[in-house]
Structure 1
């Protein structure tokens, strides 16, 4: 195992829809810099869904944190809104409402942490997608 530890990046931005695309670009750029391009497609999809939810249903600035360890990519999205996300069954004719189902399908686990000033949604991409050598110690988490 490599002894360089985890790779991490964070960004905080206004809750504007254009920042969803910027968060995907940040994700792709970080993963390329870390040599973990095999995670890019899934990570960008998850980041897009979580940031979109934070922009639509949260309040205040949105923060994105990416942490890559030997075991997984941890993705965390925070906002100042009190409403907690919950998966729902969207009707076939609804254009949205499947974001958390996508997160559940792509990720090894996810959780919501309530804070005094909002919430953080965290999920982990790992398993076969993280099978390439990683620059840090193991840190596996599962949804409670």
Structure 2
């Protein structure tokens, strides 16, 4: 089990669908190196959904942020669009749809999730995040 030292990584990604795969593989490497393999599968699913939304629904760059602190893994995606994330369809309709299920998956798999608008150094956008507790 890893010690409780905090760490954080940010991966800046271009507006490119291949960034989703790069983000997922980078996250797997980070979690493996920090001794958190038990979180990898769910964390990859969550990061894939967050980064996919950032790349698919915006026109600018994005970033994946991964932070470990006090036994909690926070995964977040920043994008340049300040509008709130699209609401998920109702659970009974989500199964029928091929698109738009990302935040429903995040809500179902994460211990906590949310979003916040961001303005930093003249850049506007939003940060959508979720958390997983580190218990094995």
Provide the TM-score with structure 1 as the length reference.
Answer: 0.81
Give the alignment partner of residue 115 of structure 2, picking from 109, 112, 116: 112
CA contact (8 A) 1:109 1:124 kept: yes
Match of 1:29 in 2: 29
Match of 2:97 in 1: 94
CA deviation profile, 1:109-131 (whole Å, cap 9, x unmatched): 111111230100011011xxx11
Deviation at 1:13, TM superposition (A): 1.2
Deviation at 1:61, TM superposition (A): 0.9
Deviation at 1:70, TM superposition (A): 3.3
Match of 1:125 in 2: 132
Tell me: CA distance 1:62–1:94, structure 2 relative to 1, closer, same or farther (3 Å): same
Deviation at 1:93, TM superposition (A): 3.7
Deviation at 1:8, TM superposition (A): 1.7
Q: For CA contacts below 8 A with separation 6 or more, give which structure has more relative contact order.
A: 1
Q: Could you tell me how far apart the structure 2 residues matched to 1:14 and 1:21 are?
A: 12
Deviation at 1:38, TM superposition (A): 0.3
CA contact (8 A) 2:107 2:113 kept: yes
Provide the alpha-carbon RMSD of the alignment: 1.7
Alignment of 1:7-86 (within 5 A): 7-85=7-85, 86=87
Deviation at 1:95, TM superposition (A): 1.1
